[in-house]
């Protein structure tokens, strides 16, 4: 690994500090390095906050002159919520800028690098590009497709069941696995479940296992016929205003008003084959600036999301338990493929252990990148 890759790795680690706070903006870290010493560092903390480059250069002060600036995403060269970073970079008199990846935003792609290069700043681009893209996979999907990045999380017994015949699923996995899932909840904009999950499990759908947070993700319930009970926990938490119920057009208006009086939002979606059109729902969520969605259940919703190719990433937990019958709740309901060769292929990114549980992180092959396979304990 050369020196630029080494400092870019540190920049990516710094950018990760913004996980769960910057949406719909990207995760960005920046380092100012002079004589192989870090003289300034920063990361983007939240939307409307200073960009990483500005923070790093401010900390470096006069030491930035003649230094190298490392940033995992191309510096902006346009006026948005904040002034362009390129102007500040020029004023700082840095000698060189090392960039992890160009900004995929079609309105600004290449503009920052081109501006700096045309003003005499030495540029080195696409350093650890694949790692940079993985870090900002949510931003890339949202900014280029105007759709949220969809993550599906499932917890299964070794024989493939997500619950018993009574719907009981507490708990298939252990505490460490569940805490990891709650850390995922804290990183996304919304958690998506079907109404049956709410009826059976009555979940909070918040990251409560990892302490209090300043903001929780939206709770989105797919409920075509508005069957959700009014006593559901998603309505009776201090942040019930974050609940969205996706319904069809023919629902009881009196119940709809009661739900709205509880502080939730009812969103009418298009219907497809008698159910909510999930692609349409994702479009509606994108209009609310929701850039990432974590799908947590149940089997009917899983099946529909998979068959409609709406999932961008999978986290599958396998627990060392066997239900031992054929009457449990399967991972996905609905018609599957007719032969093994037609199964959905996945690109495994990582296999990780949480005590006795095994977690597989994977992309559908249509999203796969050339990322090194890893096994972590």
Q: Which residues are catalytic?
A: 53
- List the end-to-end C-alpha distance of the chain, in Å, as a whole number: 24
Residues in Cβ contact with 23 at an 8 Å cutoff, skipping those fewer than 6 apart: 47, 138, 189, 289, 291, 292
Closest C-alpha among 15, 273, 271 to residue 133: 15
Q: What are phi and psi of 247, to 5 degrees?
A: -130, 165
Per-residue H/E/C for the chain:
CCHHHHHHHHHHHHHHHHCCCCCCCCCCEEEEEECCEEEEEEECCCCCCCCHHHHHHHHHHHHHCCCEEEECCCCCCCCCCCCCHHHHHHHHCCCEEEECCCCCCCCCCCHHHHHHHHCCCEEECCCCHHHHHHHCHHHHHHHHHCCCEEEEEEEEECCCEEECCCCCCCCCCCHHHHHHHHHHHHHCCEEEEEHHHHHHHCCCCCCHHHCCCCCCCEEEEECCCCCCCCCCCCCCCCCHHHEEEEECCCCCHHHHHHHHHCCCEEEECCEECCEECHHHHHHHHHHCCCCEEEEEECHHHHHHHHHCCCCCEEEEEEECCCCCCCCCEECCCCCCCCCHHHCCCEEEEEEEEECCEEEEEEEEHHHCCCCCCEEEC
- For 27, 124, 219, the CA distances from 294, given in Å and listed in that order, are 18, 35, 10
| Longest CA–CA separation in the chain, Å | 70
CB proximity list for 236: less than 8 A, separation 6 or greater: none
């Amino acid at each position: 690994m050369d020196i630029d890759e080494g400092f870019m790795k540190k920049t990516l680690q710094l950018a990760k500090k913004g996980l769960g706070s910057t949406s719909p903006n990207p995760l960005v870290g920046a380092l100012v390095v002079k004589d192989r010493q870090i003289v300034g560092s920063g990361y983007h903390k939240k939307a409307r906050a200073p960009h990483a480059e500005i923070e790093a250069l401010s900390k470096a002060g006069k030491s930035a002159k003649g230094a190298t600036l490392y940033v995992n995403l191309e510096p902006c060269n346009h006026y948005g919520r904040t002034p362009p970073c390129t102007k500040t970079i020029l004023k700082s008199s840095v000698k060189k800028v090392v960039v992890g990846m160009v900004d995929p935003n079609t309105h600004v792609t290449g503009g920052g690098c081109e501006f700096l290069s045309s003003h005499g700043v030495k540029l080195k681009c696409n350093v650890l590009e694949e790692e940079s893209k993985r870090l900002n996979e949510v931003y890339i999907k949202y900014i280029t497709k105007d759709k949220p990045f969809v993550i599906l999380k499932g917890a299964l017994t070794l024989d493939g069941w997500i619950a018993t015949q009574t719907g009981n699923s507490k708990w298939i996995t252990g505490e460490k696995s569940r805490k990891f899932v709650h850390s995922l909840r804290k990183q996304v904009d919304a958690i998506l479940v079907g109404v049956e999950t709410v009826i059976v499990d009555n979940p909070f759908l918040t990251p409560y296992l990892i302490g209090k947070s300043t903001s929780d993700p939206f709770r989105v319930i797919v409920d075509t016929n508005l069957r959700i009970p009014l006593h559901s926990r998603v309505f009776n938490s201090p942040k019930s205003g974050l609940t969205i119920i996706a319904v069809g057009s023919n629902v009881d208006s009196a119940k709809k008003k009661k739900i709205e009086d509880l502080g939730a939002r009812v969103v009418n979606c298009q219907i497809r084959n008698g159910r909510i059109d999930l692609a349409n729902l994702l479009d509606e969520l994108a209009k609310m600036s929701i850039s990432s969605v974590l799908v947590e259940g149940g089997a009917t919703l899983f099946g529909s999301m998979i068959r409609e190719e709406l999932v961008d990433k999978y986290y599958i937990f396998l627990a060392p338990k066997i239900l031992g019958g054929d009457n449990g709740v399967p991972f996905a309901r609905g018609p599957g493929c007719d032969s093994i060769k037609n199964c959905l292929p996945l690109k495994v990114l990582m296999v990780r252990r949480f005590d006795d549980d095994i977690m597989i992180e994977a992309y559908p092959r249509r999203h796969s990148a050339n990322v090194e396979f890893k096994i972590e304990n």
